[in-house]
Amino acid sequence: MTKRLVTIGNGMVGHRFLEQMAAKGADWELICFCEEPRVAYDRVNLSGYFAGKTAADLSLVAPDFYKDNNIQVHVGDKAVRIDRANKTVTSAKGVTISYDKLVLATGSYPFVPPIKGNDLPGTFVYRTICDLEATEAYAKDCKVGVVVGGGLLGLECANALQNLGLKTHVVEFMPRLMPVQVDDAGGATLRQKIEDLGIGIHTGKSTTEIVADEHGRVHKMQFADGTELLTDTIVFSAGIRPQDELARQCGLKIGDRGGIAIDDNCQTSDPDVYAIGECALYNNQIFGLVAPGYRMAEVAADRLCGNETNNFTGADMSTKLKLLGIDVASFGDAFGKTAGSKVIAIDDAIAGTYKKLVVNEDGTRLLGGILVGDATVYGTLLQLMQNQMALPPHPEDLILPHRSGVSMAMGVEQLPDTAQICSCNNVTKGQICTAIQEQELRDIGSVKSCTNAGMGCGGCVPLVTDLLKAELKKAGIAVNNNICEHFAFSRQELYSLVRSQDIHSFQQLLDRHGTGRGCEICKPLVGSILASAWNDQILDAPHVSLQDTNDAFLANIQRDGTYSVIPRIPGGEITPDKLIVLGQVAKDFGLYTKITGAQRIDLLGARVDQLPLIWQQLVAAGFESGHAYGKALRTVKSCVGSTWCRFGVQDSVSLAIEVELRYRGLRAPHKFKSAVSGCTRECAEAQSKDFGIIATEKGWNLYVCGNGGMKPQHAQLLAADLDKETLIRYVDRFLMFYIRTANRLERTATWFNKLEGGIEYLQAVIINDSLGIAEELEAEMAHQVATYACEWNATLQDPAKLQRFQHFVNTDAPDPNIVVIEERGQNRPVFEHERQLSELQLK
Amino acid sequence: MSQTESIQPITKQWTTICPLDRILPNTGVCALVNDRQIAVFRVGEEEDVYAIENLDPFSKAYVLSRGIVGDHNGIPKVASPIYKQNFSLLTGECLDDLTIKLQTFAAQVVDGQVQVHG
């Protein structure tokens, strides 16, 4: 007869145990008691609940997992008694079930310090979704919240309170934050960074009493040093205690300070009863992290399935976390307790990082360390320590900031095959490499799903990626520049196919050279190439489905699904009448207005159904599309030049307008910008543009491939003192050459940095026509200029195109989800935490 | 007793939302069905239609109907227009984050009219 295994507790570890049993195909009848009203969920990311994650998002149980595996789960029914003599478990609802083996995964409960007033209305703990729901409901009427406990859980909880919109304080008894994981200097760095987020930190505070207001609710905290702190609610998150009550009742061996004693097999003092997770005490140690709990679940499952070789031998308490967006890692002998150990530490107050290595006496092995503010090297350091690898001659290089030309001291190749890469799911380098080779894995997603590496906290993903790259390189598999799974070509190759084979639609190209249906990578790319080559309207029927949503609706999508509208203002010159029109349109439609960085006016907050109405008014007033939505020319910025300025030497505004009108609407691998300055003072900042023009006494200097933005780069002088006709000719050639040869989403600056031969090469191609293509390039540009038509004007005249500008296909109603709030006299979209509030006000 | 399933409060039925030619091949539209926003996609030139929730779980905006339709290894999918995560049109699963799954709805074309079961 099938033997029966009863599990008490359905937390993260309890669930992992059942998953392991199911995966091993064990011949057991599985029954589980779950005290909470919902099955296992991700307690580690609990604070995400207030950042918009739902209970369903947090669930760890695949739909129908228990049903499909024949596991009986008693949800919302707490096991209250174990009768070891008769081998039965009885629940609160009165169910009694006999067992052959029993697994306790009862977890832990939050420690609430014995302070007067710790049970007043307004005090909460932080452990379950029910706790969060209670806190959230109470916090609706609160402004200030205090977390008692500055450890790992306390800071997670502070994140949760801040997500609720409360002014948040953290009160810690010890003199620093995260006293278990970091030292004083690390605690100070962490404190600074958290205070910068607007959270109050109060360390070294011993709470003597929580005082109630006249309604008997939490009002303030009093501390031993005579100070006090006003607050509306308090959440205790000051550590955990093993939930060992059931085990005590039935006489299992319990540690002096709590915890169900287990051996290497995860067996308790009764060989028929196992204990795993935070309720278990191994070698007088409780493991309050999920990874060791998972490890115990694995050992217990193996034992129950007859595999006697898997032992629990303790666990490394190394941790890497992101708390409130701040990296914190602590591993090995973080406090340098090993005799003779030495410390290398870098406390960078400017970068806000603290990094410490603990090394052995002769500086050859890493024993542990602490990282605060930047833990990118955690994976490497952990490997060095766990595998007792020799440190490089200057171990400090491991924690010094990366500088160009200096590579990391350790490559993944040096790791032994036994090195544990993913500690959450216990996956070694050997397992990952074997899977890559045998299953011919080619991308990081398949490596993750086939090996389970990186599916826990995700901290090892960079290492797994490095492993994949190294393996592919070893196997001689060229890392190709195919744009996506649908086309085995680069962008440049596709561009030349489209031109040379006279291809005019995505379907034609796909039929001849591709496979499948296409995707969000190749469709906009081909849409852009077709536009660069033939200049058909992008919203024409065969092309509309290729366009990114910005191009598809000729406006820029914002985070709430509304759009921004930016009409063209060539050269930044605008008449008072047109300014008034923009203001009036914004008023009529309740739009938020802002001056952009490129001398234009942005009207934000337009619903998709409002876009045609807005543009009707704009087109009627003489505006045209500004192409702010496209990978196209954005703007040609200018200074007032010689028209007004006493220093100006040329008419920069007229040239800027001419240049902007010439290249408007031109689709390219990425957006591009330009500017014209009227003298060498360079007020238009032309040297930060994709192409920039600066007036000289004798004509115009042409600069190319500059960039502001993410990685600023000065433009290079391509040619000096040009007359206007030559200047335009060079710009024509330059832009078309870029469109022909750049990669997808590659700005001119990045493209230039990869050009062998640099500016001299570019000068040879553009000025001296070294490739013999100048005439072609000019002709291609001439076609573009001649076929330009305003996309908005064309759309307004075509009822079929206008049909798409509607939120619902089956009603004229707008999207009810769009909610705005007023700030500084204008509308802006609400943030998630404001949404409920404003919905209440609407009611 | 086993894990209880949640019960849908509204009885589902077929709702006609628009003629098929209102949905351009390989694009989507959004329909309001029983006060829910449902994104309906037409894959290919024929009568192949799929329906999923319109809410993008990452941005919390109701915009998935405006995403680019395509396929990954033959699985029809849509990419969110906001942060580009991909969702299977067959199962609603997020192909970039296996913890996320959208609700799907049955969809069909009858006499040239698109219908959604939701």
Of B27, B68, B82, the CB nearest to A559: B82
Specify if B3 maps to a domain.
no
Indicate yes or no: CB of A52 within 8 angstroms of CB of B2: no
Distance of CA A475 to the CA centre of its chain: 32
Interchain pair A545, B27: CB under 8 A: yes
Distance from CA of A71 to the nearest CA of B (A): 8
- A112-238 and A627-783 in the same fold: no
> Residue B116 corresponds to which tokens in the numbers above?
């959604």
SS3 A242: strand
pLDDT band per the 50, 70, 90 thresholds, residue B6? very low
Could you tell me if A39 lies within 8 Å of chain B, comparing CB atoms? yes
A548 and B CB contact within 8 Å: yes
Q: For chain B, give the percent of residues with pLDDT over 70.
A: 91
Residue among A165, A173, A117 nearest A145 (CA): A165
Confidence of residue A229 (pLDDT cuts 50, 70, 90): very high
Residues of B in contact with A75 (CB under 8 A): 1, 3-4
Task: Tell me the pLDDT band of A407, cut-offs 50, 70 and 90.
Answer: very low
What is the C-alpha separation between A109 and A122, in angstroms, rounded? 19
CATH node for A411-479: 1.10.10.1100
pLDDT surpasses 50 at A718: yes
User: Is B38 a member of any domain?
Assistant: yes
Q: Is the pLDDT of residue A402 over 60?
A: no
Average pLDDT, chain A: 90
Q: What CATH number did the domain enclosing B77 receive?
A: 2.102.10.10
Residue of B nearest to A41 (CA): B99
Cβ contacts (< 8 Å) between B33 and chain A: which residues? 810
* A557 shares contact with chain B (CB less than 8 Å): yes
Flag whether residue A831 sits within 8 Å of chain B, measured between CB atoms.
no
pLDDT at residue number A408: 43
Residue at B5 is within a domain: no
The domain spans of chain A are: 3-109+242-304, 112-238, 411-479, 491-547, 553-625+790-815, 627-783
Asked if residue B79 is part of any domain, the answer here is yes
Classify residue B8: in a domain, yes or no: no
CATH number of this structure's domain A3-109+242-304: 3.50.50.60
* In-domain check, residue B62: yes
Mean pLDDT of A412-436: 84
> Is A112-238 in CATH node 3.10.105.10?
no
User: Given CB atoms, is A546 within the 8 Å cutoff of chain B?
Assistant: yes
Report chain A residues whose CB lies below 8 A from the CB of B63.
549, 557, 561
CATH of domain A553-625+790-815: 3.90.480.10
Q: Is A66 on the interface with B (CB under 8 A)?
A: yes
What is the ipTM score, two decimals?
0.89
Contact residues, B window 27-66, toward A, CB-based 8 Å cutoff = 27, 29-33, 37, 40, 43-44, 55, 57, 59-63, 66
For A692-700, the CB contacts below 8 A with 24+ separation are: A693/A652, A693/A655, A693/A659, A693/A727, A695/A641, A695/A642, A695/A648, A695/A649, A695/A650, A695/A652, A696/A649, A696/A650, A696/A720, A696/A721, A697/A649, A699/A650, A699/A723, A699/A724, A699/A727, A700/A650, A700/A655, A700/A724, A700/A727
Q: Which residue in the set A52, A455, A552 is minimally distant from B66, CB to CB?
A: A552
Among chain B residues, CA nearest to A64: B3
B4 lies in some domain:
no
Q: Check CB contact of A51 with chain B, cutoff 8 Å.
A: no
**pLDDT confidence band for A479 (50 / 70 / 90):** low
CATH of domain A627-783: 3.30.413.10
A776/chain B closest Cα distance in angstroms: 34
Chain B contact probe: residue of A10, A511, A519 with most B CBs at under 10 A: A519
β-sheet bridge partners, residue B39 = B30, B52
Q: Any chain A CB within 8 A of the CB of B85?
A: no
Tell me, yes or no, whether B43 lies in a domain: yes
Query: Which residue segment(s) compose the domain that B89 sits in?
Result: 14-117
Interchain CB contact of B14 with A (< 8 Å): no
Q: For a pLDDT cut of 70, what percent of chain A falls above it?
A: 97
| pLDDT tens string A651-668 | 999 999 999 999 999 999
Answer yes or no: do B59 and A561 touch at CB < 8 A: yes
Q: Is the predicted pLDDT of residue B70 greater than 80, yes or no?
A: yes
Average pLDDT over every residue of A527-540: 92
Which residues on B lie below 8 Å from A832 (Cβ)? 60
The residue ranking higher by pLDDT, A729 or A459, is A729
Chain B partners of A445 at a C-beta cutoff of 8 Å?
96
Q: From A102, A446, A513, A414, select the one nearest A273 (Cα to Cα).
A: A102
Q: Please tell me the total count of domains within chain B.
A: 1
